[in-house]
Amino acid sequence: MKKTICAAVLAGLLLVQAAALPEMGALNAKSAALYAANGQELFSFNADEQLQPASVTKIMTMLLAMEALERGEVTLDTMITGSEYACSMGGTQIWLEPGEQLSLDEMLKAIAVGSANDCAVAVAEHLAGTEAAFVERMNARAAELGCTGTRFINANGLDGMGEKTMTTAHDLALISCELLRHPKILEYTGIWMDSIRGGKFSLANTNKMLKSYPGLTGLKTGYISEAGYCISATAERDGLSLVAVVMAAPTKETRMADASALLNYGFANFTVYQPPEDSLTPIPVTLGTAKTVQPVLQDAQSIVIEKEKAGDLETTLSLPDTIQAPVEAGQQIGELTVTSGGETLLTLPVVAADAVGALDIPTLLLEFLGRLSGDGDV
């Protein structure tokens, strides 16, 4: 027998007015996408069209660097050496000299702030041995993230010999969302101006929206003539973190205008909802080594919903009255469903927080004898 508890948990919590979700205005770019940082798609425009990302490619280079940091393969103090090949890159660079060494910290700063093509290749070579091996990792990681329209050819986004990196706004948004899972990167992408080489070389961020858009945190701009002006722009307000991808805008100004329009649309029409856990009370366990087990949400991550639906939310919690031992930690024992106007917005498994073993026969016999003698619980 299951019990279901319903509650309109957000009617007074979010304090928003129901209204029709407006349409996005016309964009200048060939392709665009707006995502919540948790990976939810909120808006798309030709988002599966394969285009060149230019230096926005470097979000994957930075992602693999941050993941290597997390695994302990490198530290921010690890010294990276510029090879002859890395130092031969054109475009934006810090003019690495062959054999010159900079820390990974300074390399990441040069990549995120100054879009340094030479540093991107140097980091790639250090992490994988060769840029070609690193590119294999880039493409494998993209596939793991569900990027179906992406093929990287290098670590920096420049055209190759008869080849070019191709991707989509949808894929760049997915990679950006994954990069945001490493908040340390925002300490680099959010820098406006800084320096490296002991203050001898100045850096100015290519992302001018840092000064013009409230709440902007990064991530990366890109431009080559064939790709046009591209950006993956991230911003946060009131706990809502968004990713706006713009590809093949005709000018810097239209790139900024499109990214701003996407972010404005997101902040105006969406809000964050955190599933409640306060109604999850312990469930009695039959014939268990513990009398109860605590239910918890398997994934309590917040979701993003339209503001027009926020005032009519209902949370339905389905759990058994009791559960039979043994119970495994992480075992699903119920589910929580969030609806609005009859539409299901979210379903989350409810699992056991801890394992509860089953009582063995001797223990059961002792407990039975104790009850007979009146010494046991009643």
Active site (annotated) includes residue 195? no
Query: CA torsion angle for 111, 112, 114, 118 (degrees, to 10)?
Result: 10
Q: Are strands 283-286 and 240-249 parallel, antiparallel or unpaired?
A: unpaired
Cβ neighbours of 346 (radius 10 Å): 16
Active-site residue identified among 31, 58, 83, 241: 58
What is the maximal distance between C-alpha atoms in the chain? Answer: 89
SS3 state at 205: coil
| Nearest C-alpha neighbor of 73 from the set 113, 141, 129, 144 | 129
Put residue 198 in one of left, alpha, beta given phi > 0 → left and psi -120 to 50 → alpha: left
> Is the CB of residue 57 less than 8 Å from the CB of residue 158?
no
Distance, in Å, from the CA atom of 198 to the CA atom of 209, rounded to the nearest integer, reads: 27
- Assigned token pair, 299: 């994934």
* The one catalytic residue among 31, 44, 55, 83: 55
Half-sphere exposure of 45 (CA within 13 A, CB side): 21
User: What is the distance between the alpha carbons of residues 21 and 43, in angstroms, rounded to a whole number?
Assistant: 11
Whether 55 is catalytic = yes
Residue 315 and residue 297: Cα distance in Å, rounded? Answer: 13
Rounded distance between C-alpha atoms, residue 185 and residue 141, angstroms:
18
> Looking at 31, 44, 83, 115, which residue is catalytic?
115
Tell me the catalytic residues. Answer: 55, 58, 115
